[in-house]
């Protein structure tokens, strides 16, 4: 059995192009320079899971023609990763059942606060139907896909990364400790955030991401959560070491799920 991972978005919190920006990247006609907020679609023959519901979630679901959703797994509570959750109500309507939502405690608290109406005792018709499940570092299964969550640091925040089969997805991080590295070991494919070339207080920059990726020794690494400050996709791609690539919206990867 194989799993397909599609990058629904590969941009940072402001997206690319960024509102009101006239830089060369934001004015580029290359589709690979147009980045919605970072999330991913994970699919087997029978199971469909989304990692994060960005402010672009509705657009992403329509663009990728997603007609069924088995679960959402969240990395953390920042708005560029949770703001689109309300739009799961379309999936509720057609499936006539609630959607399991997997999140760590801090993210779950934020979801209850920001989408309070979905958790109210008396619910207005048509609101999202959510089955909220708290996760820690224990594996969990959605359909036929087993997810291994683990924590990385986004400055002082715990962000949940995920490994499934030989694929690891890490976003919004600037530190990966020894315990997390052990989970990543043996991954064939690694996805890692790389915000820009300049240093940042809570994200890996490109130099740091390349160094981390090399130390984790995956066969191939794809960088995501990219800002317009990184430069033009085609230009900066030429600077990457062998086996490392910039992801782009719509890119699909095949994962062996043995």
pLDDT at 258 over 70: no
Homologous superfamily of the 2-256 domain (CATH): Ribonuclease Z/Hydroxyacylglutathione hydrolase-like (3.60.15.10)
Query: 114, 117, 123: which is closest to 81 by C-alpha?
Result: 114
CA distance 148 to 164: 6
- What's the pLDDT tens digit per position in 16-67? 999 999 999 999 999 999 999 999 999 999 999 999 999 999 999 999 999 9
The pLDDT tens digits of the residues spanning 158-168 come to 999 999 999 99
Q: Give yes or no for residue 79 having a pLDDT over 70.
A: yes
Q: What is the pTM of this model?
A: 0.97
- Can you read off the two tokens belonging to residue 124? 């207005």
Q: Which tens digits make up the pLDDT trace of 91-142? A: 999 999 999 999 999 999 999 999 999 999 888 889 999 999 999 999 999 9
The answer to whether the CB of 252 falls within 8 A of the CB of 6 is yes
Q: Residues 6 or more apart from 158 whose CB is under 8 A from it?
A: 76, 104, 106, 151, 152
């Amino acid at each position: 059995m194989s799993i397909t991972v599609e990058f629904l978005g590969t941009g940072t919190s402001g997206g690319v192009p960024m509102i009101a920006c006239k830089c060369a990247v934001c004015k580029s006609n290359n589709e690979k320079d147009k980045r919605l907020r970072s999330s991913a679609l994970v699919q087997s023959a029978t199971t469909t899971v989304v990692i994060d519901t960005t402010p672009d979630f509705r657009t992403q679901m329509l663009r990728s023609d997603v007609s069924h959703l088995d679960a959402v797994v969240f990395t953390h509570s920042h708005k560029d990763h949770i703001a689109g959750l309300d739009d799961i109500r379309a999936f509720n309507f057609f499936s006539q059942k609630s959607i399991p939502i997997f999140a760590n405690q801090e993210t779950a608290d934020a979801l209850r606060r920001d989408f309070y109406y979905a958790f109210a005792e008396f619910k207005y018709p048509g609101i999202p139907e959510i089955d909220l499940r708290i996760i820690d570092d224990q594996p969990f299964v959605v359909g036929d896909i087993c997810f291994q969550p683990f924590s990385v640091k986004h400055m002082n925040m715990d962000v949940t990364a995920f490994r499934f089969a030989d694929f690891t997805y890490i976003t919004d991080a600037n530190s990966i400790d020894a315990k997390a590295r052990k989970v990543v070991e043996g991954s064939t494919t690694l996805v890692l955030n790389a915000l820009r070339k300049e240093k940042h207080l809570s994200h890996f920059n490109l130099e740091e991401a390349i160094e981390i990726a090399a130390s984790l020794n995956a066969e191939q690494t794809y960088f995501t959560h990219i800002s317009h400050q990184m430069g033009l996709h085609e230009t900066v791609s030429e600077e990457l070491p062998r086996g490392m690539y910039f992801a782009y919206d719509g890119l699909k990867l095949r994962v062996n799920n043995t």
